[in-house]
Amino acid sequence: MTRKKVREHLFQMLFVLDFYPAEELDSQVDTFLEGLGSHSESAMGESEEGLEKVRAELKQKFYAVAEHQEEIDKKIEEKSNGWSLKRLAKADVTALRLAIYEILYDEDVPAGVAVNEAVELAKRFGTDKSPSYVNGVLGSVVRDCTEE
């Protein structure tokens, strides 16, 4: 499975963070991962061993983002010029959460890749204004990181 497809699945998993209470997240994650069976379109040609690795990676990254969600959300609000998370499109918030996690905590993902992939997710799942908004917020986050 491509990195792009894995990131898209992670985006879909993270989207549920605001819709389910914390005690139901484990069940939601397990249900999503079970759906990544060898007959799903995105898993075509993937061995069961390969799928297990993808499932493990998705689960690890989902919980890593969830663990840092409070800090990440503060960063989003700080860079959103007074807009609360509740006023932002959920797809935008999800793309930002994933990218900010990758920028701040995942050394395997270059910041530029995280930004570009988040913009692509915003194009696919957000509104017409989402890509430029996501790019602007993440550009500010990256600038802060390079100044530190």
pLDDT in tens, 27-59: 999 989 988 875 555 555 678 888 899 999 999
Mean of pLDDT values over 79-91: 90
Q: Half-sphere exposure of residue 56, counting CA atoms within 13 Å on the CB side?
A: 6
The DSSP result for 114-131, as a single string, is: HHHHHHHHHHHHS-TTHH
Classified as helix, coil or strand, 135 is helix
DSSP state of 58: H
Instruction: Give the whole-angstrom CA distance, residue 130 versus residue 137.
Output: 11
What pTM value is reported for the model?
0.90
In one letter, which amino acid is 32?
Answer: F
Q: What is the pLDDT of residue 44?
A: 57
Q: What is the pLDDT of residue 104?
A: 96
CATH of domain 68-148: 1.10.940.10
Query: Tokens 């996501």 map to which residue?
Result: 134
